[in-house]
Structure 1
Amino acid sequence: MDARLQALLDKQDITDLVYAYCNASDRHDLDKLRQLYHPDATDDHGGFFKGLAMEFIDQLPQIQAPMEILHHNVTNINLALDGDYAEGEIYVLAFHRIRTDAEPMDLLIGGRYFDRYEKREGVWKYSARAVVADWATVNNPSTVQLDHPLVQGSHIGKPGLDDPSYDFFKLLKWGER
């Protein structure tokens, strides 16, 4: 029973790590993102980047600069554990609204993260991540209508500290996992 309970706790810690990655990416919270990877971790984002995760995070301000909206949604989480090592196939829907010279465009990607995790000093973090796109839908121009009357008066999410969540929450802080 103790091994099953530890496996459940480890899987929850890894699931929390996956969710923290989505939040940090969507809010452009690079401090939080750095906390999620081991210093020697790698990241393979296809055409955007392949190498050390910390170097990828260093390049994110330029990569994310034209992205007006980022919205990662995790669906299926498949995890396998072996002591302090784990692997995950994480299904994700990632929406991007991208500023262009003409009009903004939308990119919706259905894909998966191929992850490796290691528990070091009692903490699970990414040791490797690869992004796989299974499908994509592009709308050019964008079909997002945040100015539509049905949305008027709503709080609108934004990257960075201007996001309404930072004024609302006391426990979910910027730069913290």
Structure 2
Amino acid sequence: MDPHLEHQLQALLDKQAIMELINAYCNAADRHDNEKFRSLYHDDAIDDHGSFFKGLAMDFIDTLPDIQATMEILHHNVTTVNIKLDGDKAEGEVYIIAFHKIRTDDGPIDLLIGGRYFDKYEKRNGVWKFSYRAVDADWANLHQPSIVNLDNPIVRGAHIGKPGREDPSYKIFDLLQWGQR
């Protein structure tokens, strides 16, 4: 095979693996699947959620059960993704729109955030994982009280997403299972 073509093919494979990593992160967040979260980061990776948390990603994941306890709905949507490869290292700027329905003492609130992830990835032992992830908020829209209405006749009878293993996807899928990338 032509060396230039082989290089281009490897770059496509690497970018696809990184896209699958990014998408797995969103799934793990939305399903509160912290076992899957652990598999996405290298053990020495850093997670930077600003004043919320900055440190080892594994320590951040340890705090997630408490944070997730009030999250009735999480829904991450990846939009624009820019990835630059350099051998077994890469950087990515990932645009995100994330919806949160959060239980509070005053009733549920909705938080819609548009932002970006500033990522660094490394391929170790042939596997791409996060070595660094920082969260950026470019805009936010807050509704207090929540305007989510899953009892509306338009959605009545539809599968309703839930955090954790009670999500309908785990009953429907055989290949996309809890804790798997």
TM-score, scaled to structure 2: 0.97
Residue-by-residue CA offset, 1:86-140 (whole Å, 9 max, x unaligned) = 0000000000000011110000000000000000000000000000000000000
Q: Could you say which residue in structure 2 is the equivalent of 1:76?
A: 80
Q: Percent identity?
A: 69
Runs of 4+ in 1 over 6 A off after TM superposition: none
CA distance in 2, matches of 1:82, 1:20: 22
2:123 to 119, 126, 146: 119
2:24 to 8, 20, 26: 20
- Segment of structure 1 superposing worse, 66-75 or 147-156: 147-156
CA distance in 1, matches of 2:104, 2:177: 31
Q: Which structure 2 residues correspond to residues 32-51 of structure 1 after superposition, within 5 A? A: 32-51=36-55
Matching of residue 2 in structure 1 with residue 11 in structure 2: no
Q: Show structure 1 runs of 5+ residues with no match.
A: none
Q: Following TM superposition, by how much is the alpha carbon of 1:47 offset from its aligned partner in structure 2, in angstroms?
A: 2.5
CA distance in 2, matches of 1:77, 1:15: 8
1:161 to 160, 165, 180: 165
CA distance in 1, matches of 2:142, 2:51: 17
Q: Could you say which residue in structure 1 is the equivalent of 2:60?
A: 56
Aligned with 2:16: secondary structure? helix
Q: Following TM superposition, by how much is the alpha carbon of 1:46 offset from its aligned partner in structure 2, in angstroms?
A: 1.4
- Say what the alpha-carbon RMSD is for the aligned residues: 0.5
Structure 1 counterpart of 2:9, one-letter code: L
- Segment of structure 1 superposing worse, 40-49 or 109-118: 40-49
Aligned with 2:21: secondary structure? helix
1:11 to 15, 18, 37: 15
Structure 1 counterpart of 2:57, one-letter code: A
Q: Following TM superposition, by how much is the alpha carbon of 1:64 offset from its aligned partner in structure 2, in angstroms?
A: 1.2
CA distance in 2, matches of 1:151, 1:8: 39
CA distance in 1, matches of 2:18, 2:159: 30
CA distance in 2, matches of 1:174, 1:32: 7
Structure 1 counterpart of 2:59, one-letter code: E
Aligned residues: 177
Structure 1 counterpart of 2:101, one-letter code: R
Matching of residue 137 in structure 1 with residue 138 in structure 2: no
Q: Following TM superposition, by how much is the alpha carbon of 1:48 offset from its aligned partner in structure 2, in angstroms?
A: 1.8
Q: Could you say which residue in structure 2 is the equivalent of 1:175?
A: 179
TM-score, scaled to structure 1: 0.99
Q: Show structure 2 runs of 5+ residues with no match.
A: none
CA distance in 2, matches of 1:5, 1:17: 19
Aligned with 2:120: secondary structure? strand
